[in-house]
Chain A
Amino acid sequence: MHGLAAITAHNGWAMAITGACIVMTGLAALVFFISQLHKLISLLEKKEKIAEHTIIPLAEPKVNRPLVESSDILSDLEAAVRILRPLTSQLGETFSLLNLYQLLEADQYPHPHITVREMRNAGYLIPTGDGSFSWRNI
């Protein structure tokens, strides 16, 4: 079979027209996307920048560790108070010595048995009477 009859018999017209339309549509879609791509990217970048400037990063609540050496806790009573006082703020107004020791252990401070006794003697730590302690108001 030859000529137009062959084209018609093999569905050639439909194949040619559909094929041409598909390739045009495909590349037109790609053209559209590409022409919008840089706008989309700049929009995303703008959003990121705005987010960076407006959102305050939520930092984990930290106990301000005073700038003293951990060895000071054993030798210098004043220094020990400066270390321990902020630490116990997370335990509340009154706290037990057991909780205080646990905190110090977690922060890898040396065990301050003697220091705590001295702080009691010096009046820095005031017993509340129920086994708990509080700090003397400065």
Chain B
Amino acid sequence: MELLLEFLKNTGWYLLDYRYVLMIAIGIFFCYLAIAKEYEPLLLLPIGFGVIVGNLPFFKGFGLGIYENNSVLHYLYFGVTTGLYPSIVFLGLGAMTDFTSMLARPKLMLLGAAAQMGIYFTLLGAMALGFAPKEAGAIAIIGGADGPTSIFLTAKLAPHLIGPIAIAAYSYMALIPIIQPPIMKLLTTKGERRIHMPEDDRTVSRKELLFFPIVGVLLCCLLAPASIPLLGTFFFGNLMKVSGVVDRLAKTASSSIIDTATILLGLTVGASTQADVFITTKSILIFFLGSVAFSIATASGIIFAKIMNLFLKQKINPLLGAAGVSAVPGSAREVHLVAQRADPSNFLLMHAMAANSSGVIGSAICAGILWSFLV
């Protein structure tokens, strides 16, 4: 009888408290959003299940938890804390990204820069709320709306905040259809949302596509060398794709490699939200600041597009500014849908993808800048 009682005391049921139950409920909710609502399922499903796995209570010291040395989860988590997985994800993203629309409409790239203002506003906000500068930098990057970039920078600046920051970044990316449209509608008139973009953009040659990754990596990484781990792999992946001579490598990078990294990244980031580490006042503040960052990023892109319109003969649809955040392709798709609601004959997807692609580059540069400022 005593043995049985002893065994029961070691079970997860005995150790379970409200914090773990809450986190497991959040994990199940993420899985529900991924499966039933199909909100960013590639990210939310592994993260959601990771949250469930990471919050199963256990006796400390058995080498089971993600924060315990020698545990399997700890070894898998190594790729997150070192910034390895984000770099690999960027390699795959580069091999998947088609820059044709961006190269055909270069001025839309400026929207990708403008949408990064959310990062710097949030940096100030986080500092004002009492976060240490490194923590503030890691929180601010949520405004870039780029999960791998957020994880990469947090791993470098404030590794203890990876869980809440990654969850916040991915949650807001998944919630783009809920967060962005109200801001878009608030900052634009119906007339502006109806602006059609010209379809007669020039054809991009293969040589341009080949030059771009090389020039891109030189210009961006010479300006912000700390962005090399992200942009270096990103542009390399793209060069493999456009060169056409290493199709096998490009295919592997854009399928097996990125998928493996995404699975391990999602699962371990989810598992890092262990209730006793995750449920803190800081986490709640991070979620709040993350939503502010994302909203400001969306707004600053739209406002910048309106400012551009003051100087342009051919007006651009200000909704495109909202696609300047680097949540590819979620925000581009949302811009397209909002424009279509105002005018069903308005097709903005390709133009929004131009701003979106530049947002990826912009947020990686910002991560490099913040890292070099704060390290």
Contact = CB atoms under 8 A, between A and B. Distances in A.
A3 interface: yes
A30 B365 CA distance: 12
Nearest to B204: A38
A24 B373 CA distance: 17
> Secondary structure at chain A's binding surface: helix, strand, loop or mixed?
helix
Interface stretch (A15-23, A81-89, A104-112): A15-23
Contact of B113 (A10, A24, A37, A38): A24
Contact of B224 (A22, A28, A34, A37): A22
**Nearest 5 Cβ contacts at the A-B interface:** A27-B113, A16-B120, A34-B106, A35-B106, A26-B223
Contacts of B121: 16
Contact of A34 (B103, B117, B123): B103
A123 interface: no
B242 to A, nearest CB: 14
A7 B124 contact: yes
Contact of A27 (B110, B211, B374): B110
Contact of A30 (B117, B361, B374): B361
B292 to A, nearest CB: 14
B373 A19 contact: yes
B109 to A, nearest CB: 5
Contacts of A4: 128
Contacts, number: 109
A2 interface: yes
Interface residues of B, number: 44
Contacts of B123: 12, 15-16, 19
B211 A10 contact: no
Interface of A: 1-4, 6-7, 10-13, 15-20, 22-31, 33-35, 37-38, 41
Interface string B105-141: 0110110111011011101100111100100100000
A4 B124 CA distance: 9
Contacts of A26: 113, 219-220, 223-224, 365
A37 B208 contact: yes
Contacts of A3: 128
Contact of A37 (B103, B358, B366): B103
Interface of B: 102-103, 106-107, 109-110, 112-114, 116-117, 119-121, 123-124, 127-130, 133, 136, 202, 204-205, 207-208, 211-212, 215-216, 219-220, 223-224, 358, 361-362, 365-366, 369-370, 373-374
Contact of A12 (B127, B208, B365): B127
Contacts of B365: 22-23, 26-27
Contacts of A38: 202, 204-205, 208
A24 B133 CA distance: 22
Contacts of A30: 109, 215-216, 219-220, 358, 361
B146 to A, nearest CB: 13
Given A3-B128, A7-B124, A23-B366, 14 more contacts: A6-B127, A12-B124, A12-B127, A12-B136, A17-B120, A19-B120, A19-B369, A19-B370, A27-B361, A29-B219, A31-B107, A31-B109, A37-B211, A38-B208
24 contacts: A2-B129, A6-B127, A7-B127, A12-B124, A16-B120, A18-B373, A19-B119, A19-B123, A19-B369, A20-B116, A22-B224, A23-B113, A23-B362, A23-B365, A26-B365, A27-B358, A30-B216, A34-B102, A35-B106, A35-B107, A37-B208, A38-B205, A38-B208, A41-B211
